[in-house]
Structure 1
Amino acid sequence: MTVVRPLALLLTTLLVLSGCSLLQQKPVPLYQLDSGDAVTPTKDTGMAVLVGPISVADYLRQQHLLQRQPDGSLVAAPEARWASGLANDIDQQMLRQLAWRLESQRLALAPAAPGFNADAQVMLTITRLDSGPTQPAILEAQWRLLDRNGQLRDSRLIRMEEAHGGPLAEQVKAQSALLQRLAAELAVAIQPIAVVEEPVPEPPRKKPPVAKAKPQEPPAAGPRIPVAEPIKIDTEVFRF
């Protein structure tokens, strides 16, 4: 006769229950921003652009996918996570989008390696990027553009909205579309700053005309001296 001790029976029951709960637990879906139709440029020529630093609001630096509520509050979605973090996704998407739109592989995220001479620099601050089941995706940001000499050439505040159908997948797609629109406007603003202006050659200087030497005038004639002329005398000579 086998005697089952109460402690062993309790442990067996707990293991069975935990196994059932693990089997019933669904995997948490992970999301990433979409790059849309962006294509990686094949040529390693083009303007050199330093992208960054890119600063994002603190609430965007967590793994939870936040949901904006009608009252303006944010609630973490229990069934969704960012695959690699929203802040990291923003960095990579801005780099890819700008490289595609500027048709240049010469882009680098800040801080750049030594020796990287940028024709322009993009400094970006994102203060809002979120959405909710009934709230549109909203992007609020500011950019500053510096030329190759470090001089501020452009600064702008941006606010964009993108509608969606409600599910989380559509919200992420709408947020991705906002970043693509931001990159498109940035690319237009960067081009006139990053284009290398070739120096305009100076027109050839005209040589001053050489003054022609005036012909020397003959010396002024002095008072005219009368010439002595022989005087003929009609005299007869008589000889004796």
Structure 2
Amino acid sequence: MARQIAPVICILVIGTAAAVLAGCASPTARFYTLSATTSTVAPASSLSLSVGPVSVPAAVDRPQMVVTLGPNQVSLQEFDRWASPLKDEISRTVAENLVALLRTPHVTQFPGSSSAEADYRVSIEVQRFDSTPGEAATLDAVWTLRRIKDGQSKTGRTSTREPVNQPGYDELAAAHSRALARLSQDIADAVQAPTTK
């Protein structure tokens, strides 16, 4: 009888150990990107533009998504992360939007090798990049568009709050992408505005 019980006990011990080890396994990290969301029917253009530098608040300048819990509280989502540094995500997304909005392939990210020859350079200072799950993504950014040939510049501010109708961090990333589309449109409008003498 004792010989029959011993294998059963061994199986139970091994099964329990396996369950404990499985429970100790780290959760899998999920990675998110921002995406271009604009389209246009504007005529094709040969102008060139360099996007950057882009700065973001120190509180969100990290791999983890930072979500707002209340007026004075945020939380770092250790397993929900940006696929690349946030300032690079913003720069790339704005550049891709401007390719569509200005109908030119000559949009680069500063400090790219061809950015020195660009007709325009736009720098972006993001002052708010708030993520509230199930509620909204908020963007507040000051941007300066500078024409290289004569140094003429325009400064603008884009403030927008994009609603998030469903829970989940993919929904937040999509809302931030829509906010960056609004920023990109404001920059494109400034590029296409008549030049003042």
TM-score with structure 1 setting the length? 0.65
Partner of 1:5: none
The question of 1:176 aligning with 2:177 is answered yes
Relative to its length, the structure with more strand (as a share) is: 2
Structural mapping, 1:7-156, within 5 Å: 16-21=18-23, 26-37=27-38, 46-113=46-113, 116-133=116-133, 135-156=135-156
Q: Are the equivalent residues in 2 in contact too, given 1:51–1:121 (CA < 8 A)? A: yes
Distance in 2, Cα, partners of 1:126 & 1:62: 14
Q: For 1:90 and 1:114, how far apart are their aligned partners in 2? A: 19
Give the % identical residues. Answer: 22
Distance 1:177 1:88, change over 3 A: same
Q: CA deviation at 1:133?
A: 2.6
Amino acid at match of 1:99: V
Amino acid at match of 2:139: L
Deviates more, 1:142-151 or 1:106-115: 106-115
Task: Give the CA deviation at 1:37.
Answer: 4.7
Tell me by how many angstroms 1:85 deviates: 3.1
- Matched residue type, 1:125: E
Distance 2:115 2:86 in 1: 30
In structure 2, relative to structure 1, the CA distance for the partners of 1:193 and 1:99 (3 Å cut) is farther
The one-letter code sitting in structure 2 at the alignment partner of 1:77 is Q
Number of aligned residues: 184
Structure 1: which amino acid aligns with 2:160? M
Query: Does the 8 Å contact 1:144/1:152 carry over to 2?
Result: no
Residue 97 of structure 1 aligns to a residue whose secondary structure is: helix
- The higher radius of gyration belongs to 1
Calculate the aligned-residue CA RMSD, in Å.
3.2
CA contact (8 A) 1:60 1:87 kept: no
The 8 Å contact of residues 52 and 123 in structure 2, kept in 1 or not, is answered as yes
Provide runs of 4+ in structure 1 moved above 4 Å. 12-15
Query: Aligned equivalents of 1:82 and 1:74: distance in 2?
Result: 17
Q: 2:7 — aligned with what?
A: none
The structure whose residues are more often helix, as a share, is: 2
Partner SS, residue 81 of structure 2: strand
TM-score normalised per structure 2: 0.77
Q: Where do 5+ consecutive residues of structure 1 fail to align? A: 1-11, 195-240
Listed one character per residue, the Cα deviations across residues 116-170 of structure 1 (whole Å, up to 9, x for unaligned) are 4221111111111122135421101101111123524211222111111241222
- Does the 8 A contact of 2:108 with 2:115 survive in 1? no
